[in-house]
Amino acid sequence: MKRIRDAKIVATLGPASSTPEQITELFLAGVDVFRMNFSHGAHEGHRERLQAVRNLERDHGHGAAVLMDLQGPKLRVGKFENDKVELHTGQTFRLEADEFLGTSEKACLPHPEVFAALEPDTDLLLDDGRLRLKVLSHGDGWAETKVITGGTLSNHKGLNVPGVLLDVSPLTEKDMRDMQFGLDLGVDFVALSFVQRPEDVAAAKKLIAGRAQVISKLEKPQALTRLDEIIELSDGIMVARGDLGVEVPPEDVPGIQKRIIRKCRDAGKPVIVATQMLDSMIYAPTPTRAEASDVATAIYDGADAVMLSAETAVGDYTVESVSMMERIIRRVERDEVYREMRELERRAPEKTAADAITAAARQVADTISAAAVVTFSSTGSTTLRAARERPKVPIFGLTPRLDTARRQALIWGVHSVLTEDCHTFGEMVSKALHAAKTEGYAGPGDAIVITAGVPFGTPGATNILRIAWVE
């Protein structure tokens, strides 16, 4: 199934997009990667949705990836006597680790690690920043605070501690159970929430053991201090602007987004921009002009993918949201300014044979006006390297492995094709020509530029460049 764009679309499945028919509609509208949010829903529901994705993949002959998003160590207050309380600016409010029903004077915060990390004057944000407290004093399992910004506080609302490194693992007991379930199902990506340090990523990768790729969600400012290390260890990055936008000033978020995207581009790692991209389309058939500009900016900046959350999970206009995102991406990618930016921001290739071959493939494709760049890779490393070059033509990622074919659905510019393994270079060239022709990317007389590693099956061994013509 031919996609006429390079950036990819990630869409979240939920109550509004749970049936096979609804999932197929989203796929046909342009979704490349389906996100399953394990903060909500039962395992059986996630199983049914994943099976629906695999079925449409079989029916349409086009890979679609599944990303499971772990809840992570979300900090939440407990329950209240009447389900909610009103906090008034200037009042004192006590937080305690012990379990009890909260009142307007105090509440349960069942997270001892928070109290251990507090200092006087530390800011505490509740309910996505709608309420603000300041720590006056604290001890083992308690904190006395002053309400700086009041409002209504209800059961289980989230708490953020900006600027404080908390001694918590990004994987809770629930996450461990969910992750094992998802890996057994065969998800393609695991999104790790609230990453603070590279050690968090390393621990998760050890547990996953190659069964899926790890996407680190950057939503804690502490992660930014060791950004290069986190990117290096991760298979991809998600700019999770929801919690990030709570913990840092709103005016800082655009610059942080650009910085993360640029570093991911330099490292050759896919990056997803997420949260509130077309938020008004949860209830309206069209986005605001500001939202359209937000999506466009992420594409201009070089993001590999943009993500829809509530828009497709619980929104009234799920298919329309995907179609709108598709239209915005295509419009940006046709813009001459976008093409100029892509050329100016291209990073010099590393001094390796593989990078030299890949850079040359892009240049040759441009010089001879080739119809496509074709890669052959069992692990996807050759294809990822080709995407880093941002060629002007589509990238065909041929692979004999189904897991690689699915994971390539997240990579910029890549049209993934599952093929039989190749034993000779001539066989590989023949398969490349056939795929480019049958998928509608090249016709008789068109040239394609092929890169691969010989011997086949050796990761990172890109060492061959070949021009071939479709007959």
Written as one string, the DSSP assignment of 408-457 is GGGSTTEEEEE----SSHHHHHHHHHHHHHHTTS--TT-EEEEEEESSTT
Does the annotation count 275 as an active-site position?
yes
What is the assigned CATH class of domain 8-72+170-342?
alpha beta
pTM confidence score: 0.91
Burial class (CB in 10 A: 0-12, 13-18, 19+), 117: middle
CA dist 8 and 31 (Å) reads 8
- 457: confidence class by pLDDT, cuts 50, 70, 90: low
* Cis amide prior to 270 (ω within 30 degrees): no
CA dist 448 and 469 (Å) reads 6
Q: Where in the chain is CATH 3.40.1380.20?
A: 353-469
From the list 122, 145, 275, 375, the catalytic residue is 275
* pLDDT tens-digit map of 8-66: 999 999 999 999 999 999 999 999 999 999 988 999 999 999 999 999 988 887 879 99
Residue 428's contacts (CB-CB under 8 Å, 6 or more residues apart) are: 376, 398, 422, 450, 452, 456
From the list 3, 8, 132, 217, the catalytic residue is 217
92-96 sheet: strands from edge to edge: 106-108, 92-96, 142-149, 131-139, 123-126, 159-160
Does the annotation count 259 as an active-site position?
no
Q: Where in the chain is CATH 3.20.20.60?
A: 8-72+170-342
Q: Where in the chain is CATH 2.40.33.10?
A: 84-160
Residue 99 has pLDDT above 70, yes or no: yes
* pLDDT tens-digit map of 394-411: 999 999 999 999 999 999
Work out the number of other CB atoms within 10 angstroms of the CB of residue 196. Answer: 23
CA dist 39 and 53 (Å) reads 20
CB 453 within 8 A of CB 464: yes
Does the annotation count 330 as an active-site position?
no
More confident residue, 150 or 351: 150
pLDDT of residue 460: 61
Percent of the chain with pLDDT over 70: 99
Run of H or E residues at 192: strand 189-192
Alpha helices in 211-335 (DSSP H): 221-224, 227-233, 241-247, 253-267, 289-301, 310-313, 318-334
From the list 47, 54, 76, 134, the catalytic residue is 76
Does the annotation count 375 as an active-site position?
no
From the list 3, 5, 8, 35, the catalytic residue is 35
pLDDT of residue 458: 65
pLDDT of residue 342: 84
The string of DSSP codes covering 384-405 is HHHHHT--SS-EEEEES-HHHH
Q: Which CATH number fits domain 84-160: 1.10.15.40, 2.40.33.10, 3.40.1160.10, 3.40.50.300?
A: 2.40.33.10
* pLDDT tens-digit map of 369-391: 999 999 988 889 889 999 999 99
Residue 225's contacts (CB-CB under 8 Å, 6 or more residues apart) are: none
353-469 has which fold? Pyruvate Kinase; Chain: A, domain 1 (3.40.1380)
- 449 conformational bin, left if phi > 0, alpha if psi -120 to 50, beta if neither: beta
- 90: confidence class by pLDDT, cuts 50, 70, 90: very high
Phi, psi of 359 (to 5 degrees): -65, -40
- 128: confidence class by pLDDT, cuts 50, 70, 90: confident
CB 378 within 8 A of CB 457: yes
Compute the half-sphere exposure of residue 3: CA atoms within 13 Å on the CB side of its CA: 33
Q: Taking all residues of the chain, what is their mean pLDDT, rounded to a whole number?
A: 92
